[in-house]
Amino acid sequence: MTDRHAGSGLKSRGTKTLQDMNYEAPTSVEAAVAALAAADDEAHIFAGGTDLLVQLREEMIRPSLFVDIKRIIETRTITVDDTHVRIGAAVTGAELSEHDTAKTLLPGVVEAVELIGSAQVQGRATVGGNLCNASPAADSVPALIAAGAVAQIAGPNGLRVVAVEDLLAGPSRTNLSGNEFVVSLDIPKPTTRSADAYLRFIPRTEMDIAVVGAGAAVTLDADGICTASRLALGAVAPTARLVPAAAMAMIGKKIDDTVLASVAAAARDACNPIDDKRGTVAFRIHVAGVLAIRAVKIAIERAEAK
Amino acid sequence: MNEIKTPRGGSNYQWVGKNTPRPDGVDKVTGRARYGDDMIVPGMLHGKILRSPHAHAKILSIDTSKAEALDGVKAVVTSADIPDHPMAQPPYPPIVNDFHDISRNVMAREKVLYDGHAVAAVAAISEEIARDAIKLIKVEYKVLQHILDPREAAQPDAVVLHEDLFTYGVEPKPTKPSNIFRVMHGERGDLNAGFAEADLVIEREFSSQPVHQGYIEPMACIASTSEDGTVELWTSTQGHFVQRTLLSKLLNMEMAKIRVTASEIGGGFGGKTTVYAEPLAIRLSQKTGRPVRMTMTRSEVFRATGPTVGSKTRIKVGMKKDGTITAGEAEIWYQAGAFKGSPIGRAVDTFFSPYTVANCKAAAYDVCVNRPKVAAYRAPGATMACYPMESVVNELAKELGLDPVEVRLKNAVKEGDESLMGTKHGRIGLVEVLEAVKEHPHYKAPLGDNEGRGFAVGYWLHGGGLSSAAVNLMDDGTLGVATGNPDIGGSRSSMRAMAAEELGVNVELLKPIIADTGSLGFSYLTAGSRTTFATGMAVVNATREVIDKLRALAAKKWDIPVEDVRWDAGQAIATDNYKDIKPLSLKELAGMATSMGGPVAGHSEINASGQGATFCAQLVDVEIDPDTGFTSTKRHTVFQDAGRAISPDYVEGQMQGGAVQGIGWALNEEYIYDDKARLQNTGFLDYRMPVASDVPMIDTVIIEVPNPNHPYGVRGVGEPPLVSGPAAVANAVENAIGQTMSDLPLSPPKILAALHAQAAGDD
């Protein structure tokens, strides 16, 4: 096959055809790690495929190997214990949104996942895939960061744990090494009077990609004072980012309009967006503040209702 | 669901005006309907096009040798395989089909003129090999400065796309080439006197962006050629007869040797009225001796097929305190794209046409820029001229404290008035449309916080022209109704209804089909809202010929003069003089036809005229999110004179579809280029057409003021709803935020910036 292209000037990835691509579907974490270890660096983890297959079709990638992780039980289950909600990396959006406990405990994470793609895409698209595709505009990611999610990562040296905000390196880039993959996401189980929310801005009402996304989680005490808070933004920087200054503005206070104005200011300060086909710098910065306020307000309403 | 107002009394029709099961419905919902890409021919190859990455560049060389050497590649074509043609010379018709340009648009010759311009094409045994092969074609370019804005391109020192293009219609004759192909004018009355008479004059500038038709089916075709010179082509098109004409002239082939079959079509909206890949597929098939299929990707559709024009406008309108429009002056620059031929005549005709403006002047410039050559889009050329005029009329009415609908009624054109391009109106329904708006509950419904209501009215003169039809009676009394117009908006249903009405038999006995170019007389495009009007007339004629033959058959059977046989309710009936002759039904006559003389069929080939103007008004309520600039369309009502709605549910669908496209045009749709003029949003994800959840249920009020020149009173309905849609939506946004907006699309960043500027001004 390669001979026929000799001297053609095609880039190396272009010399591969679909016939050269291999597919494996291991049934254990260890077998998946072994498959990755044996492959070259053009192997891809394959979960729902809703990003990967499009990239393949658009010739953005020509993988040597797809490692399908959907037959590994740990990637396909949602478990809830006393301290955590664990969402398998290959759990689909539709499965998550039909999981009543997850929906009750983490409404912000679930509503973010539900915004990915369309009803059809929801049947395939996975939480882990949305994270590892590493789009700065991924809807689930700010919600996961706000909720305090950490990724369970499998590799040749066993499991390691990384906070979601530390997993992302840049557009389409993670800090995973070539033979690692995300098995599941662990999210602390919200306590009483603790809740999350996610909002995004798109110029339409669905079937679009976030121009700005904002995830918020708040914990209130009996007097309505904020005791813990996390705010995260998407689509306003190379990666989704946590905004500690917004949390600082809220913690220890009753969240009134003055506090919310500080939250918006902190959110806007954290923005480092670009002008592109989806939005302008000025618009993204302004709307980040607007959505930060609105997401925090929804999280407070939910926390108060508990 | 649809409300039908027939001011001059209802009809007693049995099938015309009734909703019946769609003749194309079952195959479309089961997926059996065959679209352009659904045809598979044994031995077929797959074609792919190499496209320019540059917006404007000289082609220095093309080396196809490595692509040709790749296993599985069967042929490569470049502009050397497409005949060249001399430039068209004046006098120019309203739509110039210049084969000099068409040849260069389907395959770049000396230069590439837009990102996505075709440079070469390959046929291979698989799509994958074809895709790999085009990457092996080496093209050397010399990149040139590009230009995208029509007003900049119209400047004397602008970079020129065509060294051989000299502006036509200006004196003295230019000696320097220009991007302006021609200027069209219309004028009447005394402009200075008109403006002097006005109590208020408003002058504003506007712009609009090119928008794509967004048909859901990308272009797809398959060409199969024979050593004897014949060509069979299957393609997704709005006019297979026009395809035949274009291909015959472009490729220097005899028309009779080209047989084109129109596939089922997944939308066109004007975009599928010319040739793109078809001539390349034919050439690749001729070179290989095998059928070649070519299907564009969505990205190719956006980069390389024609959207409608973008525009810049300057307009000045004067009004008296009583609402009388005394004068109007407008200039508009249309971006034709890479080659001349934007619909500037329609711009001149549209500006002032709903109104009896005594003094007015309009000029429109056809300007080439480094974008894909424009194609028709649903009322081509009218929408961009309607938007500035309606905006200024609304602003004048507001400033003078007048009701916007009353202002239109005061100035409304009526029978006997003339449009600026000289169309003398027959019976038209603008007043009836406006009265229906006033009576509608939407007009006075209360508005909530951050909401605004918009109103606009649009004019469209639909098409007539060349159409053919055949009606074939079968032995069992069923009938085939064949026309040469691809069905993009329900024409099969309407043809069937009109034929059934003439015959007086159930529509279910008639099977409407689209015949190929070898089987019927010439039929012009399904475009210009002409099909139900023009082709409908041919169907009525053909059906009447069948009826006359059946009367003759009955007369022969009864041995009485044919004048003594009339046709009524599906049967031949002898006049009252023959009391004991029992009527013969269509079915009985069909059964005896072959043994009593031969098959019964009727056909008609016409040049339909007598089309009338159509008016469409729209009321739109929007809500603006003041913190984000997001616009939500809350309520939308479309009022349109359909003449006669042959198939009301399709008419309603046309009105709703046009309204939705207008919402997209007004709010979000635009082409986004990088600094090298490469298109960035080549898919529906980022080319933001409305999705279903973006629009409210769109109410329709069908007004029926029949056109006396059509047997059933039909006026074209497909295009008018897109004439006034963007203007109405933009006006609603203006009223919601309390300031004028002049630059479509009114996307959230623009609205937010306007709100911030307003707040800064208030401080």
Q: Is A283 on the interface with B (CB under 8 A)?
A: yes
Place A17 in a pLDDT band, splitting at 50, 70 and 90: low
**Separation between Cα atoms, residue B521 and residue B285, nearest integer Å:** 27
Of A4, A207, A276, the CB nearest to B71: A4
CA distance B753 to chain A (A): 8
Mean pLDDT of B580-597: 96
Residues of B in contact with A276 (CB under 8 A): 680
Please state, in angstroms and rounded to a whole number, the distance separating the CA atoms of residues A246 and B101: 59
Instruction: Flag whether residue A205 sits within 8 Å of chain B, measured between CB atoms.
Output: yes
- pLDDT tens digits, B401-433: 999 999 999 999 999 999 888 889 999 999 999
Q: Do B135 and A14 touch (CB under 8 A)?
A: yes
Q: What pLDDT, on the 0 to 100 scale, is given for residue B2?
A: 56
Band the pLDDT of B96: cuts 50, 70, 90.
Answer: confident
Q: Is the bond leading into B172 cis (omega within 30 degrees of zero)?
A: yes
| CB-CB neighbors (< 8 A) of B753 in chain A | 282-283
Contact of A280 with chain B, judged by CB distance below 8 Å, is answered with: yes
| pLDDT value, residue B638 | 98
The CA-CA-CA angle for residues A150, A151, A153, to 5°, reads 145
A6 in reach of chain B (CB within 8 A) = no
Position A9 scores a pLDDT of: 34
Smallest Cβ distance to A204: which of B128, B629, B688? Answer: B688
User: Cα torsion at B301, A210, A204, B760 (round to 10°)?
Assistant: -120
pLDDT(B509) > 90:
yes
User: Which of A5, A18, A203 is the closest to B748 by Cβ?
Assistant: A203
- Closest Cβ–Cβ partner in A4, A203, A207 for B668: A203
**Predicted confidence (pLDDT) at residue A273 exceeds the cutoff of 90:** yes
Pairwise CB contact (< 8 Å): B131 & A59? yes
Nearest C-alpha in B relative to A290: B627
A276 Cβ under 8 Å from any chain B Cβ:
yes
pLDDT at residue number B12? 87
**Using a CB-CB distance cutoff of 8 angstroms, which residues of chain A are in contact with residue B686?**
209, 277-278
Predicted local confidence at residue B8, as pLDDT: 46
Instruction: Sketch the domain layout of chain B as residue ranges.
Output: 424-462+612-763, 465-608
CB contact under 8 A, B132 and A10: yes
Portion 49-68 of A in contact with B at CB < 8 A: 59
Look at residue B761 in the predicted model and tell me its pLDDT.
87
For chain A, the domains span 3-68, 73-188, 194-305
Strand partners, B232: B224, B259
Query: What pLDDT is recorded for position B762?
Result: 76
Q: Which chain A residues are closer than 8 Å to B209 by Cβ?
A: none
- Residue B313 pLDDT level (bands cut at 50, 70, 90): very high
What average pLDDT does the segment B371-386 reach?
Answer: 97
Contacts of A277 in chain B (CB under 8 A): 672, 680-681, 686
Chain A residues with CB-CB distance to B71 below 8 A:
4
Q: What is the predicted pLDDT for the residue at A18? A: 67
Show residues of chain A in contact with B691, CB under 8 Å.
Answer: 204-207
CA triplet B343, B349, B352: central angle to 5 degrees? 135
- B174-223 pLDDT, tens per residue? 999 999 999 999 999 999 999 999 999 999 999 999 999 999 999 999 99
Measured between CA atoms, the residue of chain B closest to residue A204 is B694
**What is the rounded distance in angstroms from the CA atom of residue B672 to the CA atom of residue A125?**
28
pLDDT band per the 50, 70, 90 thresholds, residue A4: very low
Q: Is the pLDDT of residue B7 over 80?
A: no
The pLDDT assigned to B743 comes to 97
What is the phi-psi region of residue A276: left when phi exceeds 0, alpha when psi lies from -120 to 50, beta otherwise? beta
pLDDT in tens, B625-669: 999 999 999 999 999 999 999 999 999 999 999 999 999 999 999
- Measured in angstroms, the CA of B744 and the nearest CA of chain A are apart by 14
Q: Which CATH architecture fits B424-462+612-763?
A: 2-Layer Sandwich (3.30)
CB of B604 closer than 8 Å to CB of B469 = yes
Binned at pLDDT 50, 70 and 90, residue B114 comes out as very high
The CATH number given to A3-68 is 3.30.43
Q: Name the pLDDT band for A222 (thresholds 50, 70, 90).
A: very high
When pLDDT is cut at 50, 70 and 90, the band that residue B10 belongs to is low
Please name the member of A201, A277, A290 whose beta carbon is closest to the beta carbon of B681.
Answer: A277
Cβ distance A282 to B749 less than 8 Å, yes or no, reads yes
**Identical fold, B424-462+612-763 and B465-608:** yes
Residue B675 touches partner A, C-beta closer than 8 Å: no
Q: How far is CA B555 from CA A42, B503, B563, B589, in A?
A: 82, 17, 8, 11
Tokens 């607007």, residue?
A: A290
Residue of B nearest to A9 (CA): B136
Give A204: exposed, middle or buried? Use CB within 10 Å, 0-12, 13-18, 19+: middle
Yes or no, beta carbons of B628 and A287 under 8 Å apart? yes
CATH classification (class only), A194-305: alpha beta
Q: Are A4 and B686 an interchain contact pair (Cβ–Cβ within 8 Å)? A: no
B632 contacts in chain A (CB < 8 Å): 205
CA of A203, closest CA in chain B: separation in Å? 6
Question: pLDDT at position B422, please?
Answer: 87
pLDDT digits (tens, 9 = 90+) for B732-741: 999 999 999 9
What's the DSSP call for residue B535? I
Selecting from A17, A276, A280 the residue whose C-beta is nearest the C-beta of B128 gives A17
Closest residue in B to A278 (Cα) is B686
Q: Which CATH class is domain A73-188?
A: alpha beta
d(CA B434, CA B617) in angstroms, rounded, equals: 7
Touching check for B688 and chain A: CB below 8 Å? yes
Q: Which among A206, A277, A287 is the nearest to B680, CB-wise? A: A277
pLDDT tens sequence across A131-151? 999 999 999 999 999 999 999
- Say whether pLDDT at B585 is over 90: yes
The pLDDT assigned to B46 comes to: 98
* Section B148-172 average pLDDT: 94
Task: Say yes or no: A131 contacts chain B, CB-CB below 8 A.
Answer: no
- Could you report the per-residue pLDDT of B221-272, keeping only the tens digit for each? 999 999 999 999 999 999 999 999 999 999 999 999 999 999 999 999 999 9
Task: Outline where B440-490 has alpha helix (H).
Answer: 441-444
pLDDT of residue B59: 98
**Which residues of B fall within a CB distance of 8 Å from A278?**
686
Fold of the B465-608 domain: Aldehyde Oxidoreductase; domain 4 (3.30.365)
State the pLDDT at residue B359: 98
Distance from CA of B552 to the nearest CA of A (A): 60
Percent of chain B beyond pLDDT 90? Answer: 96
Residue B170 — pLDDT band, cuts 50, 70, 90? confident
Do residues B145 and B111 make contact, with C-beta atoms less than 8 angstroms apart?
no
Among the partner-chain residues A10, A204, A283, the one whose CB lies closest to the CB of B752 is A283
List of residues 6+ apart from A225 with CB closer than 8 A = A252, A253, A254
Residue of chain A nearest B685, judged by CA positions? A208
Assembly ipTM: 0.92
At residue A41, the pLDDT reads: 81
Please tell me the distance in Å from A3's CA to the nearest CA on chain B: 11
Q: Under an 8 A CB cutoff, do B693 and A206 touch?
A: yes
Which of B:639-668 have CB within 8 Å of A?
Answer: 667-668
B216 in contact with A at a CB cutoff of 8 Å?
no
Tell whether A10 is within 8 A of chain B (Cβ).
yes
Q: Is A208 on the interface with B (CB under 8 A)?
A: yes
Interface contact A9, partner B, CB < 8 A: yes
Closest residue on chain B to A18 (Cα): B128
Q: Hey, are the CB atoms on B668 and A290 less than 8 Å from each other? A: no
Residues 209-248 of A with CB under 8 A from B: 209
Helices (H), B401-523: 404-411, 430-439, 441-444, 491-503
**Considering chain B, what is the average pLDDT of its residues?**
96
Sign of the dihedral defined by the CA atoms of residues B550, B554, B556, B560, in that order: negative
pLDDT band at A7 (very low <50, low <70, confident <90, very high): very low
Average pLDDT, chain A: 93
Instruction: Give the closest-approach CA distance of A206 to chain B in angstroms.
Output: 7
CB-defined contacts A:B, below 8 A: 67
Phi, psi dihedral angles at B558 (to 5 degrees) = -85, -10
Lowest mean pLDDT among A8-12, B288-292, B332-336, B429-433: A8-12
Report helix angle B720-737 to B383-399, nearest 10: 40
Please tell me the predicted confidence (pLDDT) of residue A10. Answer: 36
Contact across the interface for A8 and B690, Cβ inside 8 Å: no
What is the arithmetic mean of pLDDT over B746-751?
A: 97
